[in-house]
Structure 1
Amino acid sequence: MQRRNTEARREAIVEWVNRDGHVQVESLAAEFGTSEVTIRKDLTTLAAQKLLVRQFGGAAPIQTSADSLSHNRTDARAALGQAEDKSASARKHAIGVAAARLVSNNSRIIIDSGSTTACMLPHLDSHSRLVVMTNSLHVASTLTGFDSEPTVLMTGGTWDAQSQSFQGHMAEQMTQAYSFDLAFIGASGLDVSRGTTTFNELTGLTQTMASTAKDVVIMAESGKFLHKMPNLELPWHSIAYLVTDNDIDEKTKQTIEKQGVTVITVAPDGE
């Protein structure tokens, strides 16, 4: 079943690339409800099969002689894709800085796996006597290299290759044994009326993380409101803060704030 799903996803990726001319890793991960690591593996495999060309931050279609007239157009799309990737990185960095400001010395926090939540890590080393739990090996290994020497706890559990994190019942049980001041969680999608959403039906650990924290902080770019996903992960009433970029629509911001959420908006560097 897993192999069939992988093959179907890769076929869809090739169709998308051939249709649009250039696709980004982040967009593909959101569309298929999987991790950016998994999408990069897909693109590497498809490139080896000569079904597409890997480019910075994404992929483009294979050029043929029949495509020569559209070569400049494809290059322009690729350049636009690279610029969008850099812009996305700037937004995530700014979100990470703002999220880290919510952390005080002596805090007990839990950090979910994800590229956006990881952006807060460089800004935590100045904090003293932190206790941090995570389900991400990347987060744990980064924290153990800090001069401030935070106490690092791992959830354990079953390794999930798609999300590059530990998941499952054992991880949930370990998390439930602790209490935290703040939980920092990313989002695959955002629904203005419901909360955070995902294609993944395995939402147990994220919900457990949220239940063990005094306040939940969602870290997500405003573009996630465009990602329509069927499964509700965390409702707005369980969320204290949404840290996002300043491209969020004012009406959307006000609607979320009326549901008791403090919305923190940030401008990417250089804006």
Structure 2
Amino acid sequence: MTQQQRLNVVLDLVSERGSISIAEVSEALGVSTATVRRDLNTLAEQRLVTRTHGGASALGSGYELPLQYKIARQADAKMAIAKAVAELIHPGESVGLNGGTTTSEVARVLGRSEQLRPAGDAPGVTIVTNALNIAYEMSVREHIKIVVTGGVPRRQSYELIGPLVAASLRDFTIDTAVLGVDGLSAAFGATTLHEGEAEASRAIAAVARRLVIAADATKLGRSTFARICQLKSIDVLVTDQPLSPELANEFSNAGVDVIVASSR
């Protein structure tokens, strides 16, 4: 079992029981108490649990795991992509994020970044998002200012959708929009599975100076139901594997800069 898998099990236990002891976790996972202590310290540093003498507890009586913090497919790739995206962001910038496992990981990396912490009282980064889970997680980060769009929550993704998304963004200007997608191809551009989510993502992209697509290799060369934007509207693609020569040529012709994230 990897550390990420252990962390998810621990978070599930905390969510279910409210508090856990080191001995309970050690028995449940079949690992040493020293390993459990390190895992609990990691979660406490990420402000996902409160460290207690001999264990850990939930952050409060109303605590609920954001999207249950389930391990995602292509988790290593998405974490590498998130780190590479974060390197594109500078202190004081505003970042638009839609919902999804990759953008959620981007938000976590931004939230943990020491480089983005300002010297004064101004926010290190302003995150504008239609994703309720991202807003919830980032609300505890002192250097992150959160702006949440209007809209109606979609239960499957925790994203706000509908005309209120665009209406609430109308008077904003975002430095960089970072969008997760379900498909990215030369023929159809960036796509997703749900038309409401596509509309919300378009609204975020429309007020951004730069559009970054964060997508692992499983999303490339495929298209899904609802188009977000054409390929030529994208400034940067951050992915985890080199593109095929054909795809690389198509993306280059469309003016898309491609960054391949390292998982090291």
Superposed counterparts of 1:24-43, under 5 Å: none
Structure 1 partner of 2:167:
173
| Matches of 1:86 and 1:159, distance apart in 2 | 21
2:164 is matched by which residue type in structure 1?
M
Any gaps of 5 or more consecutive residues in structure 2?
A: 1-70
- Which one of 182, 190, 193 corresponds to residue 196 of structure 1? 190
Is 1:265 equivalent to 2:234 in the alignment? Answer: no
- Which one of 87, 109, 118 corresponds to residue 95 of structure 2? 109
Would the aligned equivalents of 2:221 and 2:247 in 1 still touch at CA under 8 Å? no
Is 1:245 equivalent to 2:240 in the alignment? Answer: yes
* TM-score between the two structures when normalised by the length of structure 2: 0.65
1:238 is matched by which residue type in structure 2?
S
What is the deviation of 1:87?
7.2
1:196-247, Cα deviation, whole Å (9 max, x unpaired): 1233222221111111000011000111125442432211121111100114
- Which one of 88, 97, 106 corresponds to residue 74 of structure 2? 88
What is the deviation of 1:176?
1.8
- Which one of 119, 136, 140 corresponds to residue 141 of structure 1? 136
- Which one of 61, 83, 86 corresponds to residue 100 of structure 1? 86
What is the deviation of 1:89?
0.5
Would the aligned equivalents of 2:96 and 2:176 in 1 still touch at CA under 8 Å? yes
Moved over 6 A (4+): none
SS of 2:237's partner is strand
| Matches of 1:264 and 1:229, distance apart in 2 | 23
Would the aligned equivalents of 2:183 and 2:191 in 1 still touch at CA under 8 Å? yes
Residues 1:262 and 1:247: Cα distance change in structure 2 (over 3 Å) = closer
- Which one of 210, 219, 236 corresponds to residue 214 of structure 2? 219
What is the deviation of 1:155?
0.3
Structure 2 partner of 1:186:
180
Would the aligned equivalents of 1:175 and 1:212 in 2 still touch at CA under 8 Å? yes
| Matches of 1:120 and 1:131, distance apart in 2 | 13
Any gaps of 5 or more consecutive residues in structure 1?
A: 1-84
Identity of aligned residues (%): 24
Please identify which structure carries the higher helix content.
1
Would the aligned equivalents of 1:193 and 1:256 in 2 still touch at CA under 8 Å? no
| Matches of 1:266 and 1:87, distance apart in 2 | 17
Would the aligned equivalents of 2:95 and 2:177 in 1 still touch at CA under 8 Å? yes
1:189 is matched by which residue type in structure 2?
G
Would the aligned equivalents of 1:192 and 1:225 in 2 still touch at CA under 8 Å? no
| Matches of 1:155 and 1:232, distance apart in 2 | 21
What is the deviation of 1:142?
1.8
1:54-105, Cα deviation, whole Å (9 max, x unpaired): xxxxxxxxxxxxxxxxxxxxxxxxxxxxxxx887110000000001111100
| Matches of 1:121 and 1:199, distance apart in 2 | 22
Residues 1:87 and 1:198: Cα distance change in structure 2 (over 3 Å) = closer
1:181 is matched by which residue type in structure 2?
D
Structure 2 partner of 1:55:
none
1:201 is matched by which residue type in structure 2?
E
| Matches of 2:133 and 2:142, distance apart in 1 | 17
Aligned residues: 184
Aligned-pair Cα RMSD in Å: 1.8
Residues 1:124 and 1:188: Cα distance change in structure 2 (over 3 Å) = same
* TM-score between the two structures when normalised by the length of structure 1: 0.63
